[in-house]
Structure 1
């Protein structure tokens, strides 16, 4: 079983025609959308000029087989704490939402699909091969 977790920029890339993101989704058994990604997407939809169209597209995406939200649990919080402690020790802070997204990916055994290279600083996370290229 192949699990992936989509970062906000990967979902945006998908809607802009990113073939690599589409292929990653098609190859996955499970596609997780962390609730923090939903929050970032909704913010973007609301500040843009195509809010209703973007919400409709997202709702259609969520109906695809294998696509679901990841809701944080107490285990997600424990993983988050481990990740942020490691990052602080390394002196490599990253955005808080991205730490939660990473914790969601670790909990679900997922590869993170993202264009943000700072995920490479998180030892616990498996990142998309495209990011390493």
Structure 2
């Protein structure tokens, strides 16, 4: 079963019609969208010029039965702490929100779909690097 966890870049490129992102999302049997990604998207929507359009697209996306919101719970918080410590020990820190996204992927046994190469430093989580 194909289980994917989208980061903000993957969702944004999907909405712009990027073929690789569209292919992954179309084939997925389970898609996770972390609450951290939702927050980043809402930030972009509120700073941009197309709030109503972006809100409508997101609402439609979330209505898809294969899409599941991944919330930060105790398990995700524990994994965040573990992954943060591992990355610091390796000397390869990545942006904080991306560690939360990786923790969400680890908790749901899903693969991160991203355009951000720094996820390669997170050894516990698989990734599909687009672009």
Fold equivalence (TM over 0.5): yes
- The 5-angstrom pairing of residues 23-38 of structure 1 reads 23-38=23-38
| Normalised TM-score (structure 1) | 0.95
Aligned residues: 131
Alpha-carbon shift at residue 91 of structure 1 (Å):
1.1
Alpha-carbon shift at residue 93 of structure 1 (Å):
1.2
Q: Does 2:62 match 1:62?
A: yes
The C-alpha deviation readout for 1:74-126, integer Å capped at 9, x for no partner, is 11111111110111011111111000000000111111000000100011110
Q: Which moved more, 1:9-18 or 1:34-43?
A: 9-18
- What is the SS of the residue equivalent to 1:10? helix
Distance 1:30 1:73 in 2: 19
Alpha-carbon shift at residue 35 of structure 1 (Å):
0.1
Distance 2:75 2:65 in 1: 25
Distance 1:46 1:94 in 2: 25
1:15 aligned residue: 15
Alpha-carbon shift at residue 65 of structure 1 (Å):
2.1
Q: Which moved more, 1:76-85 or 1:37-46?
A: 76-85
Q: What CA RMSD, in Å, does the superposition of the two structures yield over aligned residues? A: 1.1
The C-alpha deviation readout for 1:10-34, integer Å capped at 9, x for no partner, is 0110111111111111111110000
| Normalised TM-score (structure 2) | 0.96
Distance 2:32 2:13 in 1: 16
